[in-house]
Amino acid sequence: MAGLALELGLGALAKAARTRLRGQDRPQAPALSEGSAERLVAALSRARGAALKVGQLLSMADAELLPPQLQDAELLPPQLQDAELLPPQLQPLLARLRQSAEPMPGWQSRAVLDAELGRGWREQLQEFQEVPVAAASLGQVHRGRLRCGTPVAIKVQYPGVARSIGSDVENLLTLLSITPGLPKGLFAAPALRALQRELELECDYEREAQSTQKFRSLLGSDRFFRVPAVVPALSARRVLCTEWGRGAALERCRGLPQERRDQICTELLRLCLQELFQFRFMQTDPNWANFLYDPERHKVTLLDFGACRSFEKEFTDLYIEVIRAAADRDEEKILSKSRELKFLTGFESPAMESLHVQAVLLLGEPFWGSQPFDFGAQGTARGVRGLLPRMLRGRLGPPPEPSYALHRKLGGVFMACAHLGGRVRCRELFLQLHSSYTQRGNASSAEGGLQPKNGVTSSGIPECRKGP
């Protein structure tokens, strides 16, 4: 990684120098050869942990933030060829990082299973596939089948990955500290510290099992989403077993009819708003591989609840009013609520306050009118990107801690809707939720008293049934 960083860093410095010599203020994409791009992706795939997670987040970034070797604009559909928003799955190298870390050898995964479940774990399965079907930043997934015939997914954590997260983040912070030209208003350290805390929690699969069961209860009667049940007998701190999820990842749904894509995007945004303002409990990983669409049932199965967090009532009370102010284009309210939320310190210059209001209004654009918002034709990312350099120069403090995970999830949902070209009545969805939020007096319906649903017993074990 050090050699790779040196090679990439020297290329970026050379590119920056050429930019300055030409008298251009705007930095161009880093100089990255095709071979270096391949090495970058391969190194991140082997590194796993925090390094791979950062690579996965990069894979969902806006196209102009990435060098051309990590993109393939020729694959864009005609309606997006002139746009600056490149769908993540068309960044062929970085896209691998979302599902394709380097798997561990069989003896190593068996050692983890033996240590966590005891040597008799195999006797509880009719079938266990030694070769993983997916490998991610913290663990890999094997397919299996319970003795009663129920297909299951068994996630096994990489040995030592939990211990490596702290050092990964420290190394990233060191690299950032010696990187020239980073604006002070970026406040990268708080963002990486927040990512470190999240990843450390994600390494606790017992906590993930509890979060999965909680979401299964919250969405038990949902018309569109389902959550696989946990199998406690085959789950532990570094192993998690759940029912197998049916369907294809969202990035493969672009060829569906427009009406279907509109419905999927509407449900994605509806769920995101529900998680924040109704449940106050959100799955914050924006990876599209966590959403499996089943065209036969027209339903989406939700996966991977390691990145879950709660939101305090005080935060959601203010945040919902910021969105309402953006939807109503109330600039004074945007400023006052942003100060209360600590997005602004109150000591910013009038110019910085104006930039902040412009950014919030741009992000609130989907909620402006009653007509469906066309995510495929929007230019929000381009508009916000134009404001960012000046905002980073005038920013006086980091954003509130809950916003890191929240905005990562919101950004992922918006990017998914843009990729699918969905048209959504966003304002109608939001106003319905805002009304119910106000009427129930901000009651925390997600806290306690939830009964298992969808065929889960009190222990969370799925009802065994024959067949797939």
Q: Is pLDDT at 186 greater than 80 in this prediction?
A: no
Taking residues 100-111, what's their average pLDDT? 84
Angle, vertex CA 450, rays to CA 302 and CA 413, nearest 5 = 30
**121: pLDDT strictly greater than 60:** yes
Least confident of 74-83, 161-170, 220-229, 427-436: 74-83
Where does the pLDDT of residue 41 fall: very low under 50, low under 70, confident under 90, or very high at 90 and above?
Answer: low
Dihedral over alpha carbons 82, 83, 88, 91 (to 10 degrees): 30
Kindly report the number of other CB atoms within 10 A of residue 90's CB atom.
18
The amino acid that residue 234 corresponds to is: L
Bigger pLDDT: 59 vs 276: 276
Is the pLDDT confidence value at 382 over 60? Answer: yes
pLDDT at 58 over 70: no
**Model pLDDT, residue 227:** 97
pLDDT at 49: 59
Return mean pLDDT, the chain.
Answer: 80
Q: Tell me what the mean pLDDT of segment 378-392 comes to.
A: 79
Where in 223-358 does DSSP place strands (E)? 225-226, 239-243, 248-249, 281-283, 291-294, 299-302, 308-310
User: Contact 299/466 with Cβ under 8 angstroms?
Assistant: no
- The predicted-structure confidence for 200-240, as pLDDT tens digits, reads as follows 999 999 999 999 999 999 998 899 999 999 999 999 999 99
**Lowest mean per-residue pLDDT among 47-51, 236-240, 323-327:** 47-51
The Cα-based distances of 261 to 254, 274, 424 in angstroms read 8, 20, 10
pLDDT top residue among 306 and 454: 306
Q: For residues 382 and 225, which has the higher predicted lDDT (pLDDT)? A: 225
For 34-53, what is the mean pLDDT?
59
pLDDT of residue 268: 96
In the prediction, which pLDDT does 349 show?
Answer: 93
Mean pLDDT calculated for residue range 162-168: 85
pLDDT at 70: 43
Position with higher pLDDT, 88 vs 142: 142
Q: Higher model confidence: residue 339 or residue 392?
A: 339
Annotated active-site residue in 285, 294, 330, 374: 285
CA dihedral 86, 89, 91, 94 (to 10 degrees): 130
In the prediction, which pLDDT does 134 show?
Answer: 86
Mean pLDDT lowest among 29-33, 226-230, 342-346: 29-33
Q: What is the pLDDT of residue 165?
A: 86
The answer, yes or no, to whether residue 323 has pLDDT greater than 80, is yes
By mean pLDDT, which of 8-12, 174-178, 280-284, 405-409 is the weakest?
8-12
* pLDDT tens digit sequence for 413-440: 998 999 999 999 999 999 999 999 998 7
77-91 mean pLDDT? 34
Q: How far apart are CA 360 and CA 357, in angstroms?
A: 5
Comparing 76-90, 102-116, 301-315, 445-459, the range with the smallest average pLDDT is: 76-90
* Amino acid 262: pLDDT: 97
Residue 72 has pLDDT above 50, yes or no: no
Nearest-Å Rg of the Cα atoms of the chain is: 23
User: Strand 134-135 vs strand 291-294: parallel, antiparallel, or unpaired?
Assistant: unpaired
Tens digits of residue pLDDT in 240-269 = 999 999 899 888 899 999 999 999 999 999
Query: Does the pLDDT at position 452 exceed 50?
Result: no
Percent above pLDDT 70 for the chain: 71
Pick the closest to residue 145 from 455, 458, 460, 462 (CA basis): 462
Q: What is the DSSP string of 158-189?
A: PTTHHHHHHHHHHHHHHHHHT-TT--GGG-HH
114 has catalytic annotation: no
Cα–Cα distance list, 41 to 46, 55, 269, 322 (Å): 9, 8, 31, 38
Distance CA 231, CA 121 (A): 12
Predicted local distance difference test score (pLDDT) of residue 55: 53
Mean pLDDT score, 279-285: 95
* 302 against 28, higher pLDDT: 302
Determine what percent of the chain is predicted with pLDDT higher than 90.
51
pLDDT confidence tier of residue 43, bands split at 50, 70 and 90: low
pLDDT exceeds cutoff 70 at 449: no
Q: What is the mean pLDDT of residues 61-65?
A: 45
Q: Span 41-67, mean pLDDT?
A: 54
User: What is the model's pLDDT at position 278?
Assistant: 95
Q: Is the pLDDT of residue 98 over 80?
A: no
Parallel/antiparallel/unpaired status of strands 225-226 and 299-302: parallel
